[in-house]
Structures are given as C-alpha cells and as structure tokens.
C-alpha cells in the first residue's frame, strides 16, 4: 500500500494517519454508520500504521518458555531494552559522523536526544527492580544459558563508548548480520575517538598515540587528554567545547547508572549465584560497573 504525501514516516502525523486532516482516501470510504470526523476504518490491505510500525510482528515476538505469569514482563523488558540500545547506537553513530564532519551542533543534538533516551532506558528497569529470588527462580531455568551478555546490540553500544574487545565477537559467529555489524564497529572510531579527533583539528594537543591508536582495542586513558579537557573546562563555561564535554559526561553518567541498576536488580534477584551466561554473576558485574565511560572527562575535573 502506498502512502499519501502527508503520511510519510517523517511526517509528524505518520504514527496517527487518520489525524492527518485530509479527506477520506479514495477507495476506502467510511462505513455508513461511522460518525462524521471519525477515523478511517476500512483499508484495502493492512493498515498504514501496521505498514510503518510492524506492530503485529512486534507484539507476537514473545515466545514464553515457562508457565510463570511473571516471565512476560521479564521478556518484554529485555526486548524493550534491546530497542533502546538500537536507538542509542543510532544516535551515537549520528553524533560520531557529525563530529567527523566538524558539525558540532548536529552532534550535540544527537547527544542531547540520547540523554532523554537513556533516561527512558533506565526507567525500564522499574518492573524488574524488585524481583525476589523465588520469583526469578520461577522462570530462570527456562532461560537455559541465555544471558544479556550475549546481546549484540549492547556490545555495539559498548564498542561505540570505547569498550572494544575482539573476543566479544566470538559469541556472535553463528549470526552473520550481528557478527558483520560488530566486526565493522570494532575497527571503526568510537564516539570518543571522534570527539578527540575533532578537538585535535581545533588545535588541542591530543597526542598522536591516542589519535593513531589501534581502534580494535579498549580505549586507555591518557594524561595528555586529561590535560586537554582540564584546559577546556577552565575556559568559557558557555563555549562549544564545554558543551561537548558535558553532553558526553551526561552519556557516561547515565550508562554508568544503567550498569548499576542492572547490578542492583541482579543482586536482589539472585544474590551470589552464578549467571546463566556462565560468569560469577554479581561479582563479575561489579567489576564491569566500575569501568569509567570517557575516563578523562571525570579525572580532569580534579585539575580545574
């Protein structure tokens, strides 16, 4: 089915096709009993909403594995988080590309959007935040060896933040598309790499060892980069570069919060048990949660 020009995916009314304020579509008259001004009811094929949103697919992807009524919200929360990871990867790839093209306002727009999206992602912990061990046990066995650790989209998100690791491709070798996307991301500059290259082009003394680093490895903090941020933060508080630093700091803080909310939910739901993915569980997550996102943006503050 084709869209009318007012009803393209980018149009603000796209998600509510009937509110576009146009005359009824030819060939899809309202049934005689529908009140004037009411939405269209009759479509030749599937609805324009379905064509755009694929809600029928999305709302039938819940294949429950236990009889426990609490499993549904566990699965849907996980799926919702996967969708937010997808949005965040999109925003940070947009921001990285804009920085590469010296388009700071476009990068800041994407980072600001991602701040609200991270808030929404973090709010989606709410339904799982108070699971007791007995409640979690009711369907935990059905998960088998499945674990969020095997999330390819989360891994792409971590790669964009500088937490690169070739070993993290191994779990995805059986899933061609995810593996190819991750491999590409492994060798591409992350968001922070692009921010530092941008600052170097503006004359900041970012060292060559950082600019020419092996992109497939984890970003390691550098004292000279810390000095660059300290210098920026001593300067104009309303300047563009401080705004970039603050937008990245917001991202770092909210990712740290996701990791800590995950850690707390896990601690409540399973205590010191081993994870379904084979890790030591809480003890392993504790180490992951202490990792700093964009490290020099935090340490530079002690020098301002």
Contact with ligand HEM (CB under 6 A) among 276, 294, 296, 297: 276
The whole-angstrom separation of Cα 205 and Cα 216 is 23
Is the CB of residue 113 less than 8 Å from the CB of residue 89? no
Least Cα distance to 142 among 59, 77, 74, 58 occurs for: 74
| 270 counts as binding ligand HEM under rule CB under 6 A | yes
Contact with ligand HEM (CB under 6 A) among 11, 113, 288, 301: 288
User: In the complex, what is the shortest distance from the CB of residue 245 to ligand HEM, in angstroms, rounded to a whole number?
Assistant: 25
Is the CB of residue 14 less than 8 Å from the CB of residue 21? no
**262 marked as part of a ligand binding site:** yes
| 275 counts as binding ligand HEM under rule CB under 6 A | yes
Longest distance between any two alpha carbons in the chain, whole Å: 74
Cβ of 199: how many Cβ atoms within 10 Å? 20
| 265 counts as binding ligand HEM under rule CB under 6 A | yes
Contact with ligand HEM (CB under 6 A) among 43, 49, 284, 298: 284
| 161 counts as binding ligand HEM under rule CB under 6 A | no
Least Cα distance to 119 among 245, 249, 251 occurs for: 251
Q: Exposure string (b/e) for 146-161, b if CB count within 10 Å is 16 or more?
A: eeebbbbbbbbbbbbb
**266 marked as part of a ligand binding site:** no
The whole-angstrom separation of Cα 75 and Cα 172 is 20
**112 marked as part of a ligand binding site:** no
| 258 counts as binding ligand HEM under rule CB under 6 A | no
Contact with ligand HEM (CB under 6 A) among 279, 298, 299, 301: 279
Contact with ligand HEM (CB under 6 A) among 152, 185, 228, 285: 285
User: Cβ closer to ligand HEM: 139 or 233?
Assistant: 139
Question: Per CB under 6 A, which region of 16-24, 42-50, 78-86, 176-184 contacts ligand HEM?
Answer: 78-86
The whole-angstrom separation of Cα 264 and Cα 284 is 13
| 224 counts as binding ligand HEM under rule CB under 6 A | no
| 148 counts as binding ligand HEM under rule CB under 6 A | yes
Residues flagged as binding site for heme: 262
């Amino acid at each position: 089915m084709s869209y009318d020009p007012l009803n393209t995916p980018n149009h603000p009314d796209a998600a509510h096709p009937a509110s576009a304020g146009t005359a009824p579509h030819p060939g899809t008259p309202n049934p005689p009993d529908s009140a004037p001004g009411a939405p269209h009811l009759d479509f030749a094929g599937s609805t324009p909403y379905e064509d755009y949103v694929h809600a029928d697919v999305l709302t039938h992807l819940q294949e429950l594995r236990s009889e426990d009524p609490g499993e549904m919200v566990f699965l849907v929360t996980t799926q919702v988080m996967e969708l937010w990871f997808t949005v965040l990867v999109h925003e940070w790839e947009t921001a990285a590309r804009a920085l590469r093209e010296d388009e700071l306002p476009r990068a800041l727009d994407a980072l600001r959007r991602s701040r609200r999206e991270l808030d929404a992602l973090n709010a989606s912990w709410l339904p799982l935040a108070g699971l007791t061990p007995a409640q979690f046990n009711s369907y935990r066995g059905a998960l088998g060896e499945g674990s969020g650790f095997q999330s390819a989209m989360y891994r792409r998100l971590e790669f964009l933040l500088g937490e690169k690791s070739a070993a993290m491709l191994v779990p995805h070798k059986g899933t061609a598309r995810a593996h190819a996307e991750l491999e590409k991301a492994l060798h591409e500059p992350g968001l922070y790499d692009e921010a530092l290259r941008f600052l170097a082009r503006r004359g900041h003394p970012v060292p060559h060892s950082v600019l020419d680093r092996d992109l497939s490895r984890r970003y390691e903090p550098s004292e000279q980069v810390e000095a660059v941020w300290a210098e920026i933060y001593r300067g104009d508080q309303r300047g563009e570069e401080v705004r970039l630093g603050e937008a990245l700091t917001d991202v770092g803080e909210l990712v740290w919060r996701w990791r800590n909310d995950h850690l707390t939910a896990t601690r409540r739901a399973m205590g010191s048990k081993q994870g379904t993915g084979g890790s030591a569980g809480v003890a392993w997550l504790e180490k992951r949660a202490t990792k700093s996102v964009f490290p020099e943006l935090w340490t530079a503050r002690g020098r301002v």
